[in-house]
Structure 1
Amino acid sequence: MTKISNKEHRALLIDDQFDFDKHSIIQTAVAVESELTGINVKEFEDELNLQHIVIKSKLAGFAEADRAKLHKLLDILYQQQAFKGDWKAFFKVENALLSKVLARRKGIPISLGILVLDFLKECDFDAQGICFPSGFIIRINLKNEVVYLDPFTGELPSWELLELKVRGQLGNHARLTLDMLNPDDNKTIIMRLVNVIKAAYIQADELELALLCCDILLRIDPEDAYEVRDRGFLFQQLECFNLARTDFEFFIEQYPKDPIVNLLKQQIEQMNLDTNIQVIH
């Protein structure tokens, strides 16, 4: 990971003009986290680089990035260093923020996946992230085969197990297709991460920080009416009724036949009533 100072990270404005290919996924993710929490980027990078040194020293005897080296790397991460998925508190904010995951060795597929993807690339593996239906997974291209890694468990699931995961997420009639295993670009992965962080903040009732996640997502894709709608619900919960009404009306204009439109119209009527009551009072 190329070192970037705190000042430079703050200058990384993630928006629709941002060059996601110019920066690694982990660099962009740390820039997002710095905006959300104000973490010390240098401290994070120092800890991550220390991990790189330790891992690569333990893999020094492997000449090429083959299956044997991969199994050793996974043993280092998931056995020796005890990285693992947090089954008990899946949606906690600390499981989504990379700095917390690196420090605690616990996380969820997208946060663990971004870290493991960084470790894989540092160890010369050809690997890409996939926003899989059941959770983030990693595609690893070895010399004569392609394998998939579940970063939540540290396992290399078979096609059959991947299909079971798909059916568990999408229903018993769903089937695994090759399209589901296509690698995603950095932009898609970062947007998935920010959405997960936003959901965690909402569950933690930290709505202002969830709104900041909405702002980041809308900077990346200003025309995303569904994100505008979600922001409207957050504004409504914060009793910013004029802002919520504007967001709901924008969504209704963009998608007048969406099933949620009637609910949004009811919400607008209720907010109008609440606003009038406040003015009279």
Structure 2
Amino acid sequence: MSLDNELPNIHEIDLLELVQFTSQLSDGDSVSESAYFQLDELLRQVREIARDELSAEGRWRQFKELFYNEWQFTINQDDYFSIESNNLFYFLETRNGNNALSTILVYHLLNLLELEPQIIDFPGPFVLQVDGINGIKIDPLTGKEMPRRLLEGLVRGHLGDHIRLSDEHLEIATIKNVKKRFLVSLKQACLLDEEYDVALLLSELLLTLLPKDPNIIMERGFILQQLDYATGAMEDFSYFVEQCPEHPNSDVLKVHIDKLKDQAIIMH
């Protein structure tokens, strides 16, 4: 089953283009003109700040006022892991999103302001580092600075109370890894909502980014199984077993493979 013609070049598109594409995938034809207008208007206002304000500190102050106070972007606490919380157009219309989505949008906007943002590959939520403002670290959902003691508390909460914050936890993420983390998060949301067609497209995007990754291929097998593509599921499970024979999942997958042999169909 080839989906290549339906997918963008994951290596060439930037982060904002990626979330626009995935948001159209999950929304289908329901994206309103209002959402596109909201994005255009936000970009226009940020470019206006970039044009009129000479100092980096001034651009940062005006951006915080615009994004967090005037537009009132915030976290969707009631539905943090849903498809909607990963949807750029939903975010623009409701002002509610999650960490990954707000990170990508704020990162793009701060680049327009030439504030040299970097995304930290932090355990759990992303953190933004603004090199143009003395390398301050901020929560992209609030714009608030995150001091070291707060970052250490978050690390201990995610990795265990015995862990202490180190330089390893503050490494700058590659764009490739940001794309991976966002796609994995959205794919899991699609699986929870049983949106298997969209989850399959996201798996194909991930495999374009990380070819032959056994775990992504195994997960694609489960999606194909849900979509009644027994042959494809069997092939994906077999690949994982071959690549990771000692993995605990391999024994379970062998049982799935035996059952799928009787259900195999030719996929077109």
TM-score (structure 1 length as normaliser): 0.81
1:82-161 equivalences under 5 Å are 82-142=72-132, 145-161=134-150
Question: CA offset at residue 224 of structure 1?
Answer: 0.8
Amino acid paired to 1:168: G
Q: Deviations over 1:151-205 (max 9, x none)?
A: 1233211111111111211222222221222222222212221111111111111
Query: In structure 1, the residue corresponding to 2:110 is in which secondary structure?
Result: helix
Query: In structure 2, the residue corresponding to 1:165 is in which secondary structure?
Result: helix
CA distance in 2, matches of 1:147, 1:124: 15
Question: CA offset at residue 38 of structure 1?
Answer: 5.1
Query: In structure 2, the residue corresponding to 1:155 is in which secondary structure?
Result: coil
Query: Equivalent of 1:210, from 187, 196, 199?
Result: 199
Question: CA offset at residue 61 of structure 1?
Answer: 6.4
Q: Which residue of 1 aligns with 2:229?
A: 240
Amino acid paired to 1:263: V
Q: Which residue of 1 aligns with 2:15?
A: 25
Query: In structure 2, the residue corresponding to 1:142 is in which secondary structure?
Result: helix
Amino acid paired to 2:201: L
Q: Deviations over 1:203-243 (max 9, x none)?
A: 11111111111011112222111100011111223333222
Confirm whether residue 187 of structure 1 aligns to residue 182 of structure 2.
Answer: no
CA 1:11 to 1:244, structure 2 compared with 1: closer, same or farther past 3 Å? closer
Q: Which residue of 2 aligns with 1:231?
A: 220
Identity of aligned residues (%): 25
Q: Deviations over 1:242-275 (max 9, x none)?
A: 22121111001011111221221232234446x3
Please say if residues 36 and 89 of structure 2, whose CA atoms lie closer than 8 Å, have aligned partners that are also in contact: no
CA distance in 2, matches of 1:99, 1:51: 12
Please say if residues 141 and 147 of structure 1, whose CA atoms lie closer than 8 Å, have aligned partners that are also in contact: yes
Number of aligned pairs? 260
Amino acid paired to 2:194: D
Query: Equivalent of 2:153, from 159, 164, 167?
Result: 164
CA 1:237 to 1:173, structure 2 compared with 1: closer, same or farther past 3 Å? farther
Query: Equivalent of 1:253, from 220, 224, 242?
Result: 242
Amino acid paired to 2:222: F
Provide structure 2 residue ranges, at least 5 long, that are not aligned to the other structure.
Answer: none
CA 1:58 to 1:220, structure 2 compared with 1: closer, same or farther past 3 Å? closer
CA 1:173 to 1:269, structure 2 compared with 1: closer, same or farther past 3 Å? farther
Amino acid paired to 1:50: E
Query: In structure 2, the residue corresponding to 1:260 is in which secondary structure?
Result: helix
Q: Which residue of 2 aligns with 1:70?
A: 60
CA distance in 1, matches of 2:194, 2:20: 23
Q: Is the deviation greater in 130-139 or in 36-45?
A: 36-45
Please say if residues 128 and 139 of structure 2, whose CA atoms lie closer than 8 Å, have aligned partners that are also in contact: yes
Please say if residues 25 and 198 of structure 2, whose CA atoms lie closer than 8 Å, have aligned partners that are also in contact: no
CA distance in 2, matches of 1:75, 1:223: 45
Please say if residues 109 and 136 of structure 1, whose CA atoms lie closer than 8 Å, have aligned partners that are also in contact: yes
Q: Which residue of 2 aligns with 1:4?
A: none
TM-score (structure 2 length as normaliser): 0.85
| Structure 1 vs Structure 2 CA RMSD | 2.9
CA distance in 1, matches of 2:88, 2:135: 27
Amino acid paired to 1:76: L
CA 1:246 to 1:60, structure 2 compared with 1: closer, same or farther past 3 Å? closer
